[in-house]
Amino acid sequence: METPRHKAATSERDVPQGDRVREFVEQYRFIIAHSRESRYRAYALRHKVFREELEYTLGDDVDTPFEKDAHDKHSILCLLHHVGSDRDAGCLRVVLPIDNDGQPRTLPLEESCAHGLTHPRLHPDRFERSSLCEVSRLAVHPDFRRTRECALGLREQDLQPLEENRLPPPSPLVTLSLFLAATAIVGLSGRRHVFSMMEPRFARLLKISGLAFRQVGDVIDYCGPRAAYYIDQHQAERDLQSSLRPLYRHIRTSLAPQVERTSPFV
């Protein structure tokens, strides 16, 4: 007789990819935070994860329950909203180094770890500011991830299905979908050259999905051991695992009309 445990394992492996994407699409919505209210929802989620849970000293005013800084004024903020519970499951931001008046600005990592940017060619100074951006403040609410070891809760075993061209179960898919959304937003905003600060082990995990970030700086102590990474958005789209492409197309299509009206920043 088949045990319940065996049934669960069998059904997990045999879920058709189209059904898994459909399930995710029905459960989650990506929302570009245009309004003050939605942007402060992102700040509140970041405060919960980065300050309360991980005890990072991020943001300008640590005495408020909102983690935000000056770069948010020039960023596209995005929320991942869980429809069934009416709660925000995750968030991210794409920092654009040009202000509302069209004046160039520095990326956050150019301020926080300029000494750690060591690659001779893949340095922000090597590109036009209008083609640059930085992806940061990716966070998943602890109720929507399997582990509390980091803000995104992604483990190597969670991504093993991708190596067999299968989608992972919903929990790690929440994390991966944030990176897919970031990739889509970067492209939709007319950017190509993407920088991000992350742990080396996390960059290795993302490579399994096809998002092959290149390390362009030394590992430094910045909320733990992190280094600057770079990825070409065009290449990222081409290299995505085939199992992730249907979900990526859905995310990009749903975000396109929202990104078009992302101005001015609040």
Is 129 a member of any domain? yes
Q: What is the pLDDT of residue 262?
A: 67
Is 264 a member of any domain? no
Is it the case that residue 263 has pLDDT exceeding 80? no
Whole-prediction pTM: 0.88
Is 248 a member of any domain? yes
Residue 122: give its domain's CATH number: 3.40.630.30
Q: Which region among 55-59, 200-204, 260-264 has the lowest average model confidence (pLDDT)?
A: 260-264
Is 220 a member of any domain? yes
Domain count, the chain: 1
Is 209 a member of any domain? yes
Q: What is the pLDDT of residue 159?
A: 81
Q: What is the pLDDT of residue 30?
A: 97
pLDDT in tens, 13-29: 444 567 778 889 999 99
Q: Which of 59-73, 78-92, 251-265 has the highest mean pLDDT?
A: 78-92
Is 5 a member of any domain? no
| Mean pLDDT, residues 121-133 taken together | 94
Q: What is the pLDDT of residue 147?
A: 67
Is 71 a member of any domain? yes
Ordered DSSP codes for the chain: ---HHHHHHHHHHH--HHHHHHHHHHHEEEEE--SHHHHHHHHHHHIIIIIIIT----SS-TTSS----GGGGGEEEEEEEETTTTEEEEEEEEE-SB-TTS-B---HHHHH-GGGB--SSSSGGGS-GGGEEEEEEEEE-GGGSS--SSSS---GGGGHHHHTT-PPPHHHHHHHHHHHHHHHHHHHTT--EEEEEE-HHHHHHHHHHT--PEE-B--EESSSEEEEEEEEHHHHHHHS-GGGHHHHHHHHHHHHHHHHT--S--
* Domain ranges, residue 21: 15-258
Is 35 a member of any domain? yes
